[in-house]
């Protein structure tokens, strides 16, 4: 079994609208269990591109790539893979221990937090803000995250960058132990001092030539440094082999960890939310406008109508803005890239974000209802409040998914402008404010999911609506399915264009 297979792979990048640049052409190689492979080459030759392709972060222009005998885009291909890449970031407001615990929740066979922090000597730094760590400490943290899942394969891109002398020695100590324990390693390094260590460890060296300077034999040249038998003898000298029973356990334990991963991701999102409560405060501030309506003498049906309009607007703002902008920022800050090289399935990432936003929505609706009852004197039955709550919260799900789509497709600046604009256009389109418009525009509006959300809310609130509730609910279900599929596609597309 090959752990990594590249079969006749080409990679071109777009340069401007029309032009394309070829970076890799006809690249074939494989990495087998137990190997320690060095990938070297000049700056810009395409080494990181090869690693990004191997991890499914980029799509090959031609050819086939397999990671652990699966498509590298499938999250379960990374169940036994630990990764340190260049150009990734930890999120702001997350502590070292929280990141390690988050990673632990993804893997069934994970190491304990203590063990993994001990391996990279970050003990005592558990409660520090991860984004505030020094460059070398961050590099140790990335290595810790790579080791957490107890991987069989380590993919490391310039892992010794920024390490001080002590960090460097500790890193190589861990690498030796990992390799002795049978972990396969693919490492990219241009650091000259690494070569001293690599001389005794590496089993194979792959040299990558720049596409434009490649010899007739092709872009890659392989050099065996240690025969298979020699490498195995070296490992056998230092570690006892796994018994067949231990081997079976290891294989059995590599199924995905969906529920704990969902729990871990949710806990992490909620912590992030509580540490940056701007959204919660802003949302509550908007809802707190309700008592003003009392001063204006608004009562009865008009009071319910105002209440549901404000709720709809607040919910829409929360899901579109929070999800869209947050995801766009996470992408540009390369935090998403760090998540994508784990085995976290995309739907868990998407679901955890949506659920946290729905939590903010729930708090806002409850505050609005309490104010409606207390300040505006809305005396509705328990059944009506419940029905209204359910329609408000369930009906906003397609828009939450739409927010995610925008976040995956746009950069933070464009996301900000488009989201800002939509917050004006959509309420007008839904009739929250009366603006004269031609008939054809009014007809076109009935095709928008926003219109169906508004009509469903009016129905739930017992107000005047167009008597087509099943049609509206069907439209919202249809929009959820279609937006859900587009969200998964845009997540994949984002992977392909990073």
Q: Which residues bind ligand ATP (CB under 6 A)?
A: 13, 23, 41, 43-49, 190
The helix (H) or strand (E) run that includes residue 404 is: helix 397-409
Residue 95 near residue 128 (C-beta atoms within 8 A): yes
Euclidean distance between CA atoms 360 and 353, whole angstroms: 11
Helix 346-374 and helix 469-497, axial crossing angle in degrees, nearest 10:
140
Shorter beta-carbon distance to ligand ATP: residue 44 or 420: 44
CA-closest candidate to residue 405, choices 496, 497, 323: 323
Shorter beta-carbon distance to ligand ATP: residue 190 or 223: 190
Shorter beta-carbon distance to ligand ATP: residue 13 or 433: 13
Euclidean distance between CA atoms 322 and 357, whole angstroms: 7
Tokens of 137: 């400490």
Euclidean distance between CA atoms 230 and 187, whole angstroms: 20
Residue 86 near residue 157 (C-beta atoms within 8 A): yes
Give me the residue label for tokens 């993804």. Answer: 106
Euclidean distance between CA atoms 184 and 208, whole angstroms: 20
Euclidean distance between CA atoms 347 and 442, whole angstroms: 36
3-state secondary structure of 259: helix
Shorter beta-carbon distance to ligand ATP: residue 72 or 345: 72
Shorter beta-carbon distance to ligand ATP: residue 19 or 244: 19
DSSP secondary structure of 132-185? GS-HHHHHHHHHHHHHHT--SEEEEESTTTT--HHHHHHHHHHHHHHHHTT-EE
Q: How far is the CB of 213 from ligand ATP (least distance, A)?
A: 13
Residue 71 near residue 5 (C-beta atoms within 8 A): no
Residue 53 near residue 19 (C-beta atoms within 8 A): no
Residue 407 near residue 422 (C-beta atoms within 8 A): no
Give me the residue label for tokens 């328990």. Answer: 382
Burial 125-141, CB ≥16 within 10 A → b, else e:
beeeebeebeebbbbbb
Q: How far is the CB of 44 from ligand ATP (least distance, A)?
A: 4
Q: How far is the CB of 189 from ligand ATP (least distance, A)?
A: 9
Shorter beta-carbon distance to ligand ATP: residue 337 or 454: 337
Q: Counting runs of H as helices and runs of E as strands, what totals does the chain give?
A: 21, 9
Shorter beta-carbon distance to ligand ATP: residue 85 or 397: 85
Classify residue 441 as exposed, middle or buried by CB count within 10 Å of its CB (0-12, 13-18, 19+).
exposed
- Distant-in-sequence, close-in-space partners of 316: CB < 8 Å, separation ≥ 6: 396, 399, 423, 426, 427, 450
Q: How far is the CB of 6 from ligand ATP (least distance, A)?
A: 14
Q: How far is the CB of 456 from ligand ATP (least distance, A)?
A: 42
Shorter beta-carbon distance to ligand ATP: residue 4 or 348: 4
Q: How far is the CB of 350 from ligand ATP (least distance, A)?
A: 23
Q: How far is the CB of 180 from ligand ATP (least distance, A)?
A: 28
Q: How far is the CB of 334 from ligand ATP (least distance, A)?
A: 12
Q: How far is the CB of 55 from ligand ATP (least distance, A)?
A: 13
CA-closest candidate to residue 88, choices 145, 165, 47, 43: 145
Shorter beta-carbon distance to ligand ATP: residue 16 or 297: 16
Shorter beta-carbon distance to ligand ATP: residue 27 or 286: 27
Q: How far is the CB of 20 from ligand ATP (least distance, A)?
A: 10
Q: How far is the CB of 1 from ligand ATP (least distance, A)?
A: 27
Give me the residue label for tokens 């959509």. Answer: 426
Shorter beta-carbon distance to ligand ATP: residue 14 or 275: 14
Shorter beta-carbon distance to ligand ATP: residue 190 or 238: 190
Q: How far is the CB of 12 from ligand ATP (least distance, A)?
A: 9
């Amino acid at each position: 079994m090959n752990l990594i297979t590249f079969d006749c792979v080409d990679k071109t990048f777009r340069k401007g609208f029309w032009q394309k640049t070829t970076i890799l052409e006809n690249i074939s190689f494989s990495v087998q269990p137990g190997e320690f492979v060095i990938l070297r080459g000049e700056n810009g030759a395409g080494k990181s591109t090869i690693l990004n392709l191997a991890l499914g972060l980029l799509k090959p222009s031609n050819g086939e790539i397999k990671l652990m005998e699966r498509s590298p885009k499938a999250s379960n291909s990374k169940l036994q893979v630990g990764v340190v890449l260049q150009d990734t970031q930890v999120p702001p407001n997350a502590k070292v221990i929280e990141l390690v615990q988050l990673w632990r929740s993804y893997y069934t066979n994970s190491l304990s937090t203590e063990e993994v922090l001990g391996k990279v000597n970050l003990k005592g730094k558990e409660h520090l803000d991860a984004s505030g760590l020094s460059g070398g400490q961050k590099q140790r943290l990335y290595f810790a995250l790579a080791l957490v899942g107890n991987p069989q394969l380590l993919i490391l891109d310039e892992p010794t960058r920024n390490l001080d002398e002590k960090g460097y020695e500790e890193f190589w100590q861990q690498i030796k132990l990992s390799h002795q324990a049978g972990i396969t390693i693919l490492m990219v390094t241009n650091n000259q001092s690494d070569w001293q260590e690599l001389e005794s460890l590496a089993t194979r060296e792959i040299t990558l030539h720049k596409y434009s300077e490649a010899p007739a034999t092709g872009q890659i040249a392989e050099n065996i440094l240690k025969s298979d038998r020699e490498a195995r003898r070296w490992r056998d000298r230092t570690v006892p082999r796994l018994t067949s029973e231990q081997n079976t356990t290891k294989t059995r334990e590599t199924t995905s960890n969906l529920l704990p991963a969902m729990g871990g991701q949710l806990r992490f999102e909620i912590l992030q939310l509580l540490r940056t409560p701007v959204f919660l405060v802003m949302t509550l501030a908007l809802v707190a406008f309700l008592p003003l309506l009392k001063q204006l003498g608004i009562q009865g049906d008009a009071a319910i109508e105002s209440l549901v309009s404000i709720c709809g607007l607040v919910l829409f703002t929360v899901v579109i803005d929070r999800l869209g902008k947050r995801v766009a920022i996470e992408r540009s800050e390369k935090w998403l890239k760090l998540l994508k090289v784990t085995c976290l399935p995309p739907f868990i990432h998407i679901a955890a974000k949506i659920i946290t936003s729905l939590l903010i929505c729930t708090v806002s609706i409850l505050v609005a209802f309490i104010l409606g009852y207390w300040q505006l004197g809305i005396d509705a039955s328990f059944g009506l409040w419940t029905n209204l709550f359910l329609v408000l919260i369930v009906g906003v799900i397609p828009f939450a998914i739409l927010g995610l789509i925008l976040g995956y497709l746009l950069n933070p600046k464009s996301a900000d402008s488009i989201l800002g604009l939509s917050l004006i256009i959509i309420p007008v389109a839904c009739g929250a404010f009366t603006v004269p418009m031609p008939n054809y525009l009014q007809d076109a509006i009935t095709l928008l999911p926003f219109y169906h959300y508004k009509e469903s809310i009016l129905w739930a609130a017992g107000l005047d609506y167009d008597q087509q509730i099943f049609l509206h609910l069907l439209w919202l279900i249809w929009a959820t399915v279609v937006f859900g599929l587009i969200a998964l596609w845009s997540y994949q597309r984002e992977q392909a264009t990073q």
